[in-house]
Amino acid sequence: METVLEVEGLHTRFELDEGVVHAVSGVDLTIGRGEVLAVVGESGCGKSVMARSVLRLVDRPGRITGGHVRVRTDDGMADMVTADPRTVRAVRGSRIAMVFQEPMAAMSPMHTLGNQIGEAIRLHEPVTKAEARARVIDLLGRVGIPAPKRRVDEYPFQMSGGMLQRAMIAMALSCGPHLLIADEPTTALDVTTQAQILDLLRSLQQETGMAVMLITHDLGVAAQMADRVAVMYLGTVVEDGPVEDVFRAPRHPYTKALLRSVPKLGSGSRERLRPVRGMVPHAYRRPAGCPFHPRCDEFMAGRCDVRAPAPVTGPGRPGAVSCLLYEETTR
């Protein structure tokens, strides 16, 4: 499978007056053409910052301090971390596009859908305004917006949350990207609209063959949509692999705790859920050693609070897990 994105040792931090926040701490990820990768974890684990770092969209005082983000282009793999601004602008939209968590905040309230989506098309392709407008109308129809010839001249505030999310997806697909990053695409939508948006993403992915990075805290959505899953905690990937392997036989204590907290079909009505013990540590007080050790049921004193684990692979299973328990078994 041809690789469309390769993230290696990515570090992003925010230098604030109160201290330094290490939002992304050494993330390694790869996504192949046509693959769906779900990135899961609790709020505050660095999922959205990692996605924005891929597109070099981290606002100040945040900055990428290390690693590589290689994106496939016509001339090979371009590193977004070191690329010049012209290359970065060329990659955004045409090679990688993003559906943001809040479409109302991501779109201008002062311009119509036709102007905003058409501008993205004309930025990357040599088409006229009339040709761009015709393509926008076609895109709005493809993503399920009714009466696209009328909607193309409407403003974002005239649309419902579900329709605006569809318009955001249309903008992301306007230049045929190889990779779509969807950051919590169903946030603040009702259950019926959530299902419609997920069905739309799945059908578009199958139709175009693009890869998808789906960022979500909903494990059910990840199980439904993804081929592979990466579990993030405090800016690091603690476990990754095929979604069936990770969800049926989790290895990292954090993955196990997340899955125990999900309601299960057929469980007794009086059975209590088991939430993940404790809270995500404050951003300025990152624990020494394994970042999950203060909440871990398998904590080993004198080891987990001293040394950070390295990713361990196998045996006989794709993917990796970062836990000292598995470093012992592989020696």
pLDDT tens for residues 208-264?
Answer: 899 999 999 889 999 999 999 999 999 999 999 999 999 999 999 999 999 988 877
Residue 273: pLDDT over 80: no
Phi and psi, residue 313, nearest 5°: -105, 160
Predicted pLDDT of residue 268: 63
Q: Round the average pLDDT of the chain to a whole number and report it.
A: 90
Measured distance between the N- and C-terminal CA atoms of the chain, rounded to whole angstroms: 31
Q: Which residues pair with 13 in a beta bridge?
A: 22, 63
Phi and psi, residue 36, nearest 5°: -110, 115
Mean pLDDT of 58-74: 93
Q: Are 237 and 40 in contact (CB under 8 A)?
A: no
Outline where DSSP puts E strands in 80-147: 96-99
Give me the DSSP letters along 203-218: HHHHHH--EEEEE-S-
Instruction: Take residue 186 and report the two structure tokens written for it.
Output: 């169903």
Residue 319: pLDDT over 70: yes
Nearest Cα neighbor of 240 from 228, 253, 223, 227 is 228
Global pTM?
Answer: 0.91
Tokens 């930025």 sit at which residue?
123
Length reported for the chain: 331
Angle between helices 161-172 and 129-142 (to 10 degrees): 130
Separation CA 21–CA 109 (nearest Å): 32
Outline where DSSP puts E strands in the chain: 3-16, 19-32, 36-40, 62-73, 76-79, 96-99, 179-183, 211-215, 228-233, 236-242, 312-313, 320-321
Share of residues in the chain with pLDDT > 70 (%) = 97
> Exposed/middle/buried for 13, CB within 10 Å: 0-12, 13-18, 19+?
buried
Separation CA 186–CA 165 (nearest Å): 8
Predicted pLDDT of residue 101: 82
